[in-house]
Homo-oligomer: A and B are copies of this chain.
Amino acid sequence: MTSDAGTLRNTHQRRAVSSLLGSVEGFHSAQELHSMLRDRGERVGLTTVYRTLQSLADAGEIDVMRPPGGEHLYRRCSQGHHHHLVCRSCGSTVEVEGPAVENWADRVAEKHGFTDVSHTLEIFGTCQGCCRS
């Protein structure tokens, strides 16, 4: 669609994964996405799901989250750099931005002589709905 690495071919599996990611809310594991594809009647191998997710992540089209003690979760997110506020209980997520944090991280890294800087940041908590129950 958008990204074209030159050697990438346009297969129905790739389109299926990409399209699925566009139509679901929240984060899902590769295995969940694989099941969803099966439920939709698409036959896409689990291997291909992993590979496609990886290439999409490399291309920056999806976000990967690594929750403590769980499998990798993937989600199509709004473009641009942002972070996630995640409910420990129900898994619902909110995208948050913190320009100040970005700057701080870059400044700190630079101060210590580090270059080519990136960072990961996730906020975990219990959301209102889950807190009540």
Contacts and interface: CB of A to CB of B under 8 A. Distances in A.
B118 A124 contact: yes
Contacts of A100: 100, 104
B113 A119 contact: no
Interface residues of A, number: 32
Query: In the complex this chain forms, how many copies of it are found?
Result: 2
B119 A123 contact: yes
A109 interface: yes
A123 B108 contact: yes
B124 A117 contact: yes
Given A68-B66, A85-B108, A98-B108, A120 B122 contact: yes
A24 interface: no
Interface of A: 66, 68, 85, 87-88, 94, 96, 98, 100-101, 104-105, 108-109, 112-128, 131
